Amino acid sequence: MTDRRRDRSQARHDVHDPGGVRLQKVLAGAGFGSRRACEELISAGRVSVDGVQVRELGIRVDPQRAVIHVNGLRVQLDDAVVTLALHKPAGVYSSMADEQGRPDLSQFVADRTERLFHVGRLDAETTGLILLTNDGELAHRLTHPSYEVPKTYVAEIEGRVARGLGRELKDGIELDDGPVQVDEFTVLETTPQASVVEVVLHEGRNHIVRRLLAQVGHPVTRLSRTAIGPIRLGHLKVGRTRVIEGRELGRLMSSVGL
């Protein structure tokens, strides 16, 4: 049997749903271009359904049940599932309903009907990226330590950074609740009095960046999270949200094995 016939036989057996929607129509509706462009993706073997590589244009799938990847990236087909990026301002607590009545995240999504969960936390005075989603499995994986999702922070700190500090941080620093290592450390700006640094780490402990930098003699004066995994804050204005969708959402889901 030729490779093409084997692909067709396997796809027909495993993933074809006679009552479903043509795969190229599903992909076009998800933003992967015209139906013709999506047919080319399928024919090139760049699409999989439920883990099976598909090359046949006649395949039909159930958009509510099929797990579809394009170029290895998951395609979210459920319109009821939403993931947002929020640029959290200072003075806002990482809660959807703060028990003490302090400013919380709910004010930024008051116009949405979905029940959203925040992914991870930032202390009140730290600004930057927080993800909000009603996808329970995605939220679980993004916060679970075993997936080691990297987070990127930009910190303004006291003092001039000494040569070799990056290596010291990568080797590990002992804190009261155990050691911590950074994945990357970059000095962006420096003067004798202060510096701006970028820190990448996959730790999620409370105040970890502030405690880490204070431990090595550089207390933080301002802190912002600029990325979670492949999702970057970019030019999103403070207090605003944007929908994460398409290829960007696919990269996020793929980063945690979805």
- Of the candidates 14, 123, 171, 177, the residue annotated as catalytic is 123
Tell me the CA distances in angstroms from 105 to 102, 134, 224, 234, 237, one per residue in order. 10, 14, 16, 20, 15
Spatial distance between the Cα atoms of 77 and 227, rounded to a whole number of angstroms: 25
SS3 160: coil
Active site residue 123: yes
Tell me the CA distances in angstroms from 174 to 80, 177, 208, one per residue in order. 44, 8, 12
Phi, psi angle pair for 72, to nearest 5°: 85, 0
Phi, psi angle pair for 112, to nearest 5°: -100, 145
Catalytic residues: 123
